[in-house]
């Protein structure tokens, strides 16, 4: 199994530009999570999906952030417009089922730098 | 609300010595506890979890963790540290569907 795949691995953009991060979960996993990691705030859960449906987006910082999961094998996290404070590593994770005792499998992350 | 505390930002240990990375948690119900490791420029990797049963849980790479309900702790341990164990370690708790992570502890194993 290839694991969770994220693209791009690195993204450098200018303030005000639209940024789209992509994630392909492990085949057969029904739950998908988006996290953001910064030195100041650590790991923060942004949003998670179950069976392609957003369940909780309370962690999304602002309306500039949006996430979609059009099918079981693909999800996007979009920031429009981007700001320097959005600079962080964004992780996607998937889990076989949405239950409390399943571990999550993380992708390698996308390092976003907004200038 | 659930929370996790990792009281040490950094732990240094000599190669071959036992290591402990501390974690305490707070939940209102039954805790589901996890340890993850992150190597530089990599995603988090699952190490082990406690769901129920034996308080001593064994995981990957020779790591184990001890669940202590009275002290609300879930410390990560390894009998003999390797230089390759140097990484960032995260404790996490899951009470419902949301996984809450601690701030992380940087482990440095000195040759």
Nearest residue on chain B to A109, alpha-carbon basis: B43
How much of chain A exceeds pLDDT 90, in percent? 86
User: Which residues are within 8 A (CB) of A16 and not within 5 positions of it... i.e. 6 or more apart?
Assistant: A81, A82
The answer to whether the CB atoms of B43 and A104 lie below 8 A apart is: no
CA–CA separation, B21 and B78 (whole Å): 9
Does residue A38 have a pLDDT over 90?
yes
CB A13, CB A19: distance < 8 Å:
yes
Q: What is the mean pLDDT of residues A2-15?
A: 95
Taking 90 as the threshold, does the pLDDT of residue B28 lie above it?
Answer: no
A55 in B contact zone (CB under 8 Å):
yes
Average pLDDT (A72-81) is 97
Interchain contact B5–A (C-beta under 8 A) = no
Give B44-63 as a 3 state SS string.
EEEEEEECCCCCEEECHHHC
For residues B24-53, average pLDDT = 91
B97–A42 CB contact, under 8 Å:
no
Of A12-16, A20-24, A41-45, A79-83, which range is least confident?
A41-45
Q: Does residue B21 carry a pLDDT above 70? A: yes
């Amino acid at each position: 199994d290839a694991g969770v795949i994220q693209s791009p691995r690195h993204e450098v953009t200018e303030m005000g530009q639209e940024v789209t991060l992509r994630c392909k979960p492990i085949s057969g996993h029904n739950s998908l999570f988006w996290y953001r990691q910064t030195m100041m705030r650590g790991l923060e859960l942004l949003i998670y999906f179950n069976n392609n449906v957003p369940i909780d987006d309370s962690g999304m910082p602002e309306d500039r952030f949006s996430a979609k999961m059009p099918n079981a094998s693909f999800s996007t996290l979009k920031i429009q417009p981007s700001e320097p404070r959005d600079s962080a590593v964004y992780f996607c994770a998937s889990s076989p089922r949405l239950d409390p005792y399943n571990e999550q499998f993380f992708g390698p992350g996308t390092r976003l730098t907004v200038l | 609300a659930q929370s996790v505390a990792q009281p040490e930002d950094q732990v240094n240990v000599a190669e071959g010595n036992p290591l402990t990375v501390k974690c305490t948690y707070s939940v209102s119900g039954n805790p589901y506890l996890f340890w993850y490791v992150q190597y530089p420029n990599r995603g988090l990797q699952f190490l082990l979890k406690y769901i129920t049963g034996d308080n001593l849980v064994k995981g990957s790479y020779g790591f184990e963790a001890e669940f202590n309900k009275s002290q609300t702790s879930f410390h990560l341990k390894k009998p003999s540290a390797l230089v390759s164990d140097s990484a960032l370690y995260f404790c996490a708790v899951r009470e419902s569907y949301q996984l809450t992570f601690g701030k992380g502890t940087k482990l440095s194993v000195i040759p």
